[in-house]
Structure 1
Amino acid sequence: MLSKLKQAWKIKAVRKKVMYTLMMIVIFRIGTTIPVPGIDTSIIQKMVGGNSLLSLYNMFTGGAFSNFSLFALGISPYITASIIIQLLTVGFESLAELQKSGEEGKKKINKYTKYTALALAVVQALGITLGIVRSALISNSVFFITTVVITLVSASMLVMWIGDKITEKGIGNGSSVIIFAGIISRIPTDVIKISQQVKSGQVAPWVIVILAVVILLTVTGVTFIQEATRKIPVQYAKRVVGRKMYGGQSSHIPMKVNQSGVMPIIFASSLLAFPQTIAMFMGPNAQAFVQKYLSMATEQGFWTYRSIEILLIIFFSYFYTTVSFNTEDISKNMKNNGGFIPGIRPGEPTMDYLNRILTRLTLAGATFLAIIAMVPALTTHYMKVNMSLAGTSLLIVVGVALELKRQLESNLVMRSYQGFLK
C-alpha cells in the first residue's frame, strides 16, 4: 500500500485525488470534534459506555456521537436510504428500468436516495434528541429541540455531500472511506484503554497476545477472500470482415469469491443500529426489548445480535452481487461479440452457467465473511476486552483498505497508458 502511495505521489492527477480525499477526511474529522451547543456530553459518554448498541454506533461515527458533535448522525441515514432504494429496485419494475437506463437513470436513483436519506435523518435526529439524549439537554423547550434536530440533519447532509465528493473526485467509495476514517480514529483510544487495563491487572498480557494473533489471522483471511477470483475461460470465434480476419483469441471472465466487497457488512451493521432509534418513539417497553435482545452486553443479546448479523451479511452478499454482476448482460455481450465458454452454448445456457457459478462463489464468500466477522467478536466478548477494532469493524477497515489499494493501482495503470499514448 505504501509503495503504491509513493508511485501515486509522482503522478499529478493521482496525487490530486489522494490529496482531495485526505482533505475531505480532515473536514469530516473536524466536524466530529465540534459539539452541538447545550448538551451535557458527560451523560452521553456514560450512556455509550453502558450500551453496546450505542457503542457500536459511536464507533461508526468516529466518536462523534459520544461527543454529540455536529456529525453525530454520521453517514448512517444515507447508507440506510441506499439499502431501502436498492431493495425497492428489485420490487418495482419502474425503478429497475430507471437503474438500467444509463447515467441519467442513475442520477435520478441517486436523487431519490438523497431525499430518503433526508427523511431518515429527520427521524433519526428526533429519535436521538427526544429519546436517547433527552436527559443531557439543558432545555426541553420546543425551540431548543428543533434547533438541535435541524443542526444534526443539516450536518448529516454535509457528511453525505463529503461522501459524494470523495466518490466523484477522490479515491474509493465515499461512504466506505468515511466509515473507515471513523473506525481508524478510535484505534489510539483503544490502545490507551487496553494498556491501562493491562497495567491495572484487569486484562492479562497473554490476552493481548491472543487478540493480536486473532487480528492478524482475520486480516489474512479478509485479504484472501477479497482477492480470491475464479477465472471463467472465454473463447472468441474467428470471423472474416472484408479481407481481414477478426477473433480467435481467448480471454476470461474474472468472478470474485466476494463480489460485493465490504458493503454487506456495512449494510448489516447500519440496519442493526436502526432499531435503537425506532425504539425511542415506542416507549420504555420497546427500549427494554431492544436492550435485552440486541445488546451485546448480555449473553442472550450477544448471540441474537450476531445471529441476525450473520443472516444479514449472507442476504446482502447475494443481493449486492445480483445488483453489481449482471449475468444476462454478460452473456448477451459475449454472444454479440462471438464469444463463448468452452463446452457451454452461447445465450441462455451461458447465463445459467454463470448464475450457478456465481451462486456457489457467493455462498462460499458470504459464509467465510460471516465466520471471519464472528471470530474477533467472540474473542473480545469472552475475554472481556472492549475494543473498536473487532468483528465487523476490522472487516470494514481491511476491506476498504484493499479497495483503496485496488483503485490506486487502476489509476496508476490508466495514467501509465495515457503517458504511453502521448
Structure 2
Amino acid sequence: MKRFIDTIKNIWAIQELREKILLTLGLLLIYRLGSNVVLPGVNTETLTSLQSQADGGLIGILNAFTGGAFANASILALGIMPYISASIVIQLLGMAVPTIQKMQKEGESGRRKLNQITRILTIGITMAQAPGYVANLMAQGVETTVSGQTFWLLSIVVLTAGTIFAMWLGERITDKGIGNGISLLIMVGIIASLPQAFLQELVSKLERSGGGMVLFVVEIAALIIVILLAVALVQAVRRVPVQYAKRTTGGRTFTGNMARQYIPLKVNASGVMPIIFAQAIMFIPVTILSYTAAGEDASGGWLITAFSDIQGFWYNFVFAVLIILFTYFYTAIQVNTNQMAEDLKRNGGFIPGIKPGKSTAEFLDTVLSRITLPGSIFLAILAILPAFAMIAGVNTQFAYFYGGTSLLIMVGVVLDTLQQIESYLLNRHYDGLMKNGKLKGRAVSAF
C-alpha cells in the first residue's frame, strides 16, 4: 500500500503528467455529461420501449459501447462508432488503393492526410446511420414535441455534430492528454454501466432464491480469472531471435552475440477487430430480413431468432468461427512479413539459420500462422464467454464483462495507458508502476 501511495505522489509530482491526466479526466467527464443530453424534441417519458430494446442482444452491446447514450436518445447516441467504422474502411482500402498505400508510407505528413480523409468519411457514415437511428426511435413509439420533418432534420444534424464532437474529444485526449483518446471514450462508455450492473447482480444473489453471497464471490473470482486470461492474451508474444553483424546502440557498437535482438510477434496481433467484424457481419442478415418480406417466412424467422439470441448455440458457433477467420484476415493486414524481412536485410540483420529475404519472410509467416491459431481460438472463447455467464445465471448487463469486446477493450486501453504513465515515471528517474520498474510487453490500443 505504501508503494502505491508513493507511486501516486510521484505521478502528481510530474507537472506535465499531472496536467495531461487532469485534462484527460476533464474531457472524459464532458463526454459522459453529453451522453445524458437528450435530442431536442424528444419526450423523455416515452423512452421506456427504447431502453427495453437495449437491454440485451446486439443493440445491448451497441448501447454498452456508447455508455447508455443509445437508449437515452442522446446527442451522442451514435458515439464514436462511425469513426471506428471509417478507420476500418481506410485500413481495408490500404490493401487495394495505391494512393492510400503511399500515404501510409509517407510518415507524419501521410498520417495527417489519412486522418483528414477518415474525418470526412466519418461525417458521411454518421449521416447515413443517423436516419436509421431516428427511424428506430419512431418505430419504438418515442414521441416528439416538434413536427415530424423538423425532428428528422434536427436529429440528423445534431447526431452528426455529436459524433464529430466525440471524435474531436478523442483526438484532443490523444494529442494533449494521456492514452489513446478514441479507445478511452469507448472504455469509459463501457465502464459507465459497471457499477449499476455490479449492484444489480449483488442484489439478485442476496435474494432468497439468488444463491447467496457465496455464489456472488464465486462469480467475482471467475471474473478476475477471465480478466487475467485476457491480459495474458493481450500481452503474449512469440520472440523470434534476430542476429545483427554490427549494431550501434547508445553510442556503443556491438558485434556477434552482443548484437542479438528479438522480433516480438504478438499472439493476438489483431486486437478486438475480429470480434467487431464478426458482430457486424452477423448483424447484417438480421437487419435485412427484419425489413423485408423474407423475414416473415419460416426460414427467415428462424434466422432472425437464431442470430438475435446471444445465448443460442448457432449464434455462438457462427460467431466463434467468424472470429477465427477474421483473426487470420486482420493479422495478414496488420503484419507485413515481407516488409519485415526487407527491413531486416536492409539493416544487416538475419534470423539464425534462415536466409535473408524471401526465406525470412516465409519463416516469419509460418511462425505467425502457428501462433495465430491458438490466439484466434482463445479470442473466440473469450468472445462467447458472456453467453455462458448468462446461461449460468449471471445478470445480462454484468455478464458482458466476462469477455467479448468489452473486456478486451478495457484490458487493452488500461495497459496502454499504464505503459505511457510508466514511461513518464522512468524518464523522470522514478520507480515504475511495477516492482521491477517495467511493464512486460507493449499493450496496443484498442483501435
Deviation at 1:278, TM superposition (A): 6.7
Matched residue, 1:29: 32
For the residues of structure 1 that align with 2:114 and 2:270, how far apart are their CA atoms?
20
1:181 Cα offset (Å):
0.4
1:402 aligns to what?
Answer: 415
Q: Structure 1 residues 63, 245: CA separation in 2 closer, same or farther (over 3 Å shift)?
A: closer
What corresponds to 1:233 in structure 2? 241
Is 1:294 the counterpart of 2:297? The answer is no
Question: Does the CA-based 8 Å contact 1:83-1:267 persist in structure 2?
Answer: no
Do the aligned partners of residues 137 and 84 (structure 1) sit closer, same or farther apart at CA in structure 2, a change above 3 Å counting? farther
Q: Aligned equivalents of 2:316 and 2:68: distance in 1?
A: 23
- Given the alignment, which residue of 47, 51, 54 partners 2:50? 47
Shift of the alpha carbon at 1:312? 4.2
Q: 2: distance between equivalents of 1:407 and 1:87?
A: 28
CA distance in 2: counterparts of 1:415 and 1:262, whole angstroms: 33
8 A contact 2:230–2:407 mirrored in 1: no
Percent identical residues = 36
Distance 1:359 1:207, change over 3 A: same
The reply on whether 1:61 has 2:71 as its aligned counterpart is no
Gaps of 5+ in 2: 431-447
How big is the shift at 1:286? 5.6
Distance change >3 Å, CA 307–CA 114, structure 1 → 2: farther
Task: Name the SS of the counterpart of 1:136 in structure 2.
Answer: coil
How far did residue 238 of structure 1 move?
4.6
Secondary structure (helix, strand or coil) at the match of 1:124 reads: helix
CA contact (8 A) 1:234 1:253 kept: yes
Specify the code of the residue in structure 1 equivalent to 2:30: I
In the aligned structure 1, how far is the partner of 2:421 from the partner of 2:326? 26
Using a 3 Å threshold, how does the CA distance of structure 1 residues 408 and 68 change in structure 2: closer, same or farther?
A: same
* 1:276, distance to aligned residue in structure 2 (A): 7.1
SS of alignment partner, residue 402 of structure 2: coil
In structure 2, do the counterparts of structure 1 residues 224 and 319 end up closer, same or farther at CA, with 3 Å as the change threshold? same
| Correspondence 1:356 to 2:366 | yes
- 1:52·1:295 contact (CA, 8 Å) conserved in 2? yes
Q: What is the aligned partner in structure 1 of residue 117 from structure 2?
A: 112
Cα distance between partner residues in 2 of 1:368 and 1:7: 37
The 5 Å alignment of 1:238-387 reads 238=246, 247-248=255-256, 249-269=259-279, 282=291, 291-296=304-309, 302-383=312-393, 385-387=395-397
Higher relative contact order, chain-length normalized (CA < 8 Å, sep 6+): 1
Residue 230 of structure 1 contacts residue 254 of structure 1 at CA under 8 Å; is this kept in 2?
yes
Q: How far apart are residue 271 of structure 1 and its match?
A: 5.9
**3-state secondary structure, aligned to 2:47:** helix
Among residues 139, 148, 151, which one is paired with 1:144 in the alignment?
151
Distance in 1 of aligned mates of 2:416 and 2:275: 14
Q: Which residue of 2 is the match for residue 198 of structure 1? A: 205
Change (3 A) 1:293 1:161: farther
Distance 1:104 1:2, change over 3 A: farther
- After TM superposition, give the deviation of residue 274 of structure 1 in Å: 6.8
The aligned counterpart of 1:38 is 41
Aligned to 2:224: 216
Structure 2 distance, partners of 1:269, 1:401, is: 23
AA aligned opposite 2:195 = P
Residue number in structure 1 paired with 2:18: 15
Change (3 A) 1:415 1:358: farther
Contact 1:225-1:258 at 8 Å conserved across structures: yes
CA RMSD of aligned residues (A): 3.1
1:335 aligned partner, one-letter code: K
Which residue in 2 is equivalent to 1:420?
none
Distance 2:280 2:81 in 1: 6
Displacement, 1:21? 1.8
Shift of 1:78: 1.0
